Amino acid sequence: MKDLLRYLKNYKLCSVLAPLFKLMEAAFELIIPLVVAAIVDKITAVQDGVAAAGDGTTFVVYMCLLLVGLGIIGLVSAVSAQYFAAKAAVGFSKELRSDLFGKMQTLSYYEIDGLGTSAMITRMTSDVNQIQTGVNLVLRLFMRSPFIVFGAMVMAFVLSVTAGWVFAVTIAVLFVVVFGIMLVTIPMYRKTQGYLDRVTAATRETLVGSRVVRAFCKEEEEISEYDRRNQRLTASQKAVGRISALMNPLTYAIINAGIIVLIYVGALKVDGGSLSQGQVVALYNYMSQILIELIKLANLIITVTKCFASADRVNEILKMNPSLVHGECAKLTDGAPFITFDGVSMKYNKGGMEALSDISFTVEKGQTVGIIGGTGSGKTTLVNLIPHFYDASEGQVLIDGQNVNSLGDEELRNMCGIVPQRAVLFKGTIRDNLKWGNENASDEEIMTAVNYACAADVINSKPDGLDEMVEQGGKNFSGGQRQRLTIARALVRKPEILILDDSASALDYATDARLRNNLRLLDYNPTVFIVSQRTSSIHHADKILVLDGGRLVGCGKHAELLKNCEVYREIYESQYGKEGA
């Protein structure tokens, strides 16, 4: 948690004023029992005939006005403390969430794959909110509660040393109970947050795949799976809740036992004349204040315990270093091919199976490269190595003779226009989405890219054209429309390297053919990688790579591969038959 305190640096004044106002409130509260004691002693003196009734009435009125004044000052202090604590806590969470989101954007695909989307969402929302609550309560109560507890004990020693020791023993026992429960519950809360991740994951998967779930009539199975995860989370929360629930009854029992001893000792002292009745009332009030504050402290500790568990989870991401290797910039090799794969192998996990094995080929600038193979053959993995989304486990990927590791990721990815398998659009206008490729693009440049991507009919069919709103995830567009718009987004950039990762799967054959023809007409002549399951989409390519089980089993043109590559021939014949088409 201490590593996260740096996010309070812009709220130092608020972080200081909040506890100071709380200490001011607490100081006035410690004065109140003394005022009440003075009132009781004065009334007792009047009743015993030691003081005149008129003097007693004036004194009581004066003291009551003093109590009202102390109450008003305490209220102003409490409201001020709440304001500054809330301002600091909200500002803290704003900066923490911003940095956390920024950190997630820097992580490589390795870390994102390992963490999982649901875990990152939980840490961004639930965990940060829990930390914000903890910071707020700490600023308000962390100094106030101990101050009142120990202040009450000091005042008790001032009034009576014997009564002070009753306070000291009671407080010591309370601290053993409170901190003992805290030490037990901290790891349990951390485990509970892990179960919450799993519930979030199940919820997200079911909502995203709701149509698939209904299509296969799997509602009951999904409900059962959700119930199983939810029951595990509930059981964990109940287990830690049972232990945390011991806090209040044990605190009450210890305090009440202390009050009984205090009244007994006070009665003896009053009988002996060393304490007044008002002072015994004051001691009782101090013990009651300790009860209230320790209940607050107990709740604070429960919240702080959750806060620490959440802070550890958030800090885990903030301390995570991207695993991508970045070397020194190498010198350009004259005459080198534009893109070279030199003995490249790739593993997603250490010790796991290779997704790619010993891949070697070269591509000249402006060539079109088709990549085909069965499901799981490594097609997407191969193209993800070009923009350095992953590091090669062995071998090297070169662009213009430089290892991609030695190029800055921003520089490298600005060279690339990437259209992933899943067409993703963001909430906003069509123009906003297409400007992701080039934020300075004019409408004319955007429409040129749209025409090349065969998406002009999508724009023209919308009442607002480029200003048509896109719902979250592009839900108001068909699959083919989303794919064409994402291709247009990549073309707006005018990339040197265009990667189409099975991005025309939702297009009909005629539109796919027009798209491929348009790509050949691009005036900036990009190097194009087309990943596809259709041989029709890549048969025109200058070079076709055939993958099978992560290995390159064929490399050449369409006609050559039909003769020399059995895997390619089988794929072709499965789509067109042995006679061809």
Which residue, among 282, 305, 294, has the nearest Cα to 252 in the 3D structure? 294
Q: What is the DSSP string of 209-261?
A: THHHHHHTT-HHHHHHHHHHHHHHHHHHHHHHHHHHHTHHHHHHHHHHHHHHH
HSE at residue 468, side-chain half, CA atoms within 13 A, is 17
Tokens of 283: 């001691």
- Kindly state the helix (H) or strand (E) to which residue 49 belongs, with its residue range: none
Report d(CA 22, CA 145) in Å as an integer.
9
Asked if residue 78 lies in contact with residue 27, where contact means CB atoms within 8 angstroms, the answer is no
Residues 6+ apart with CB under 8 A from 291: 251, 252, 255
Report d(CA 141, CA 270) in Å as an integer.
35
Amino acid at 513: A
Q: What domains sit in the chain, N to C, each tagged with a CATH number?
A: 97-318 (1.20.1560.10), 423-494 (3.40.50.300)
- Kindly state the helix (H) or strand (E) to which residue 310 belongs, with its residue range: helix 277-318
Asked if residue 453 lies in contact with residue 417, where contact means CB atoms within 8 angstroms, the answer is no
CB-based contacts of 257-265 (< 8 A; 24+ apart in sequence): 257/170, 258/166, 258/167, 258/169, 258/170, 258/287, 259/284, 259/287, 259/288, 261/166, 262/163, 262/166, 262/167, 262/287, 265/160, 265/162, 265/163, 265/166
- Secondary structure class of 548 (helix, strand, coil): strand
Residues counted in the chain = 581
The per-residue pLDDT for range 506-558, each reduced to its tens digit, is 888 888 889 989 998 888 899 999 999 888 889 889 999 999 989 999 999 99
Q: What is the DSSP string of 490-504?
A: HHHT--SEEEEESTT
pLDDT at position 581: 43
pLDDT at position 335: 65
Which residue, among 431, 437, 435, has the nearest Cα to 416 in the 3D structure? 437
Report d(CA 44, CA 40) in Å as an integer.
6
Report d(CA 226, CA 203) in Å as an integer.
7
What is the CB neighbour count within 10 angstroms for residue 207? 9
pTM: 0.68
**What are the start-end ranges of the H helices in 320-416?**
379-385, 409-414
CA distances (Å), origin 330, targets 333, 391, 402: 9, 17, 6
Query: Can you list the residues of the chain whose pLDDT is less than 70?
Result: 1, 45-56, 325-335, 350-352, 578-581
pLDDT at position 74: 85
pLDDT at position 24: 87
Angle at which helices 128-137 and 53-106 pack, to 10 degrees? 150
Report d(CA 219, CA 132) in Å as an integer.
37
Which residue, among 232, 219, 235, 226, has the nearest Cα to 203 in the 3D structure? 226
What is the CB neighbour count within 10 angstroms for residue 531? 26
Asked if residue 412 lies in contact with residue 399, where contact means CB atoms within 8 angstroms, the answer is yes
Angle at which helices 247-272 and 161-208 pack, to 10 degrees? 170
Tokens of 165: 């020791």
- Kindly state the helix (H) or strand (E) to which residue 529 belongs, with its residue range: strand 527-531
What is the CB neighbour count within 10 angstroms for residue 386? 22
Tokens of 226: 């959700």
Report d(CA 180, CA 419) in Å as an integer.
55
HSE at residue 498, side-chain half, CA atoms within 13 A, is 29
pLDDT at position 52: 54
The per-residue pLDDT for range 145-162, each reduced to its tens digit, is 788 888 888 888 887 788
Report d(CA 364, CA 402) in Å as an integer.
14
